[in-house]
Amino acid sequence: MPKIIYPQEDEPSIVLQQQMGGTILQASLCMGLTHYHACDGQARCTTCRVRVIAGLENLSPRNEAEQKIATVKNWSPEVRLACQTQILGDVTLRRLVSDDEDFDLVCSESLAGGSGYERNVAVMFCDIANFTDFTTKHLPYDVIHLLNRYYKEIGQGILQHHGYIDKYMGDGIMVVFGLEQESAAENCRNAILASLEMGERIKVLNKYSSKHFFHDFQMRIGLHYGTVIVGEIGHPSKRQLTVLGDVVNIASRIENENKSLKTTILASQELLAPIKNEVRCGKQHTTQLRGQQRQHTLYEVLALNSR
Ligand code: FES
């Protein structure tokens, strides 16, 4: 009979046996191994998920129910539902839900693909130049009111070009382009189009703010492209989809470079590569960004050639 092996740290591996064609979950339950299975094998809860360490070829292919979940959650081929997967030979596995805390976390995951996967995206950081100065000279009500008018204006430009507003940080905003998996060129073009549109929209805001507050807003935008980890994070009472990784840090540093270069929109070479001939650039600057080992070449974005 095929063996199912669960290696354990500091203890001998757990070895179960299963009939050919029986599922991984059936083997666990028959042998009294704790194996979470909140939906009783209906391919709905995903608490029975395992990671295949060796012997992937000795498992049945994903059935329709499992494939549906794996697609939504962007699982790699090694992550399998124990209740749906039949054993055809020896395998080595790890249970991915190993205690009640894991169980609660998995149960509170949405089915919107928030459980952790990689994706190539364009990341934008944008903030308002000298906003602290504005906050010290105006009433709290006016500061929040103006900030919300600002976010409403630039938000339209972002949404119009398929950006996902990841987070607000006071007068700063982080936006991601490409969570819906368009091509690299589409993601990068959308990031540029949104940046230019935001520049137009801030002119509209400035008509209002200069009239009522004698103040003109100026934005700084940093853009970078690369691979990030996408997932929902946070306390179960307030969890949100976000992206993590060095690409995010670099985009933030690029935004900051606008201060010394006196530019408004700066994009990395990586972001411009898929659409380079489409973008009209100004200054070019090669620098070692704070916290980075290698040099980055940045370009001031002026316009799209087609506009
Ligand atoms: S037991 Fe719920 S998906 Fe496998």
Dihedral sign for Cα 224, 190, 266, 255, please. negative
| Candidate CATH numbers 3.30.70.60, 3.20.19.10, 3.30.70.1230, 3.30.70.120; the one for domain 117-304 | 3.30.70.1230
Q: Phi-psi bin for 245: left (phi > 0), alpha (psi -120 to 50), beta?
A: left
The Å distance, Cα 72 to ligand 1 centre, comes to: 15
- Cβ atoms of 95 and 35 closer than 8 Å: yes
How far, in Å, from the CA of 93 to the mean position of ligand 1?
16
Token output for 146: 């103006």
How many angstroms separate the alpha carbon of residue 55 from the centre of ligand 1? 21
d(CA 145, CA 150): 9
- Start-end ranges of CATH 3.10.20.30 in the chain? 3-108
pLDDT at 97 over 80: yes
What is the distance in A from the centroid of ligand 1 to the CA of 25?
A: 9
State how far the Cα of 76 lies from the Cα of 80, in Å rounded to an integer: 9
Comma-separated ranges of CATH 3.30.70.1230 domains in the chain: 117-304
- Residue 3 tokens read as 């063996």
Cβ < 6 A, ligand 1 pocket: 37-39, 41-48, 81, 83
pLDDT tens-digit series, residues 53-77: 999 999 999 999 999 999 888 888 9
Is the pLDDT at 21 greater than 80? The verdict is yes
Is the separation of the CB atoms in 81 and 49 below 8 Å?
yes
Which ligand 1 atom lies nearest to the CA of residue 49? 4
What phi and psi values does residue 259 have, to the nearest 5 degrees?
Answer: -60, -50
Q: Which atom of ligand 1 is nearest to the CA of 81?
A: 4
What number does the ligand 1 atom closest to the CA of 40 have? Answer: 1
Query: From the alpha carbon of 48, which atom of ligand 1 is closest?
Result: 4
* Residue 281: predicted pLDDT: 94
122: pLDDT confidence band, cut at 50, 70 and 90? very high
* DSSP one-letter string for 204-229: HHHHHHHHHHS----EEEEEEEEEEE
**Closest approach atom of ligand 1 to CA 47:** 2
Q: Ligand 1 center to residue 233 CA distance, Å?
A: 22
Expressed in angstroms and rounded, the spacing between residue 111 Cα and the centre of ligand 1 is 14
Give 276-305 pLDDT, tens digit per residue.
889 999 989 998 888 888 899 999 999 998
What average pLDDT score do residues 198-215 get? 90
pTM: 0.74
Are the CB atoms for 121 and 177 separated by under 8 Å?
yes
Name the CATH superfamily housing domain 3-108. Beta-grasp domain (3.10.20.30)
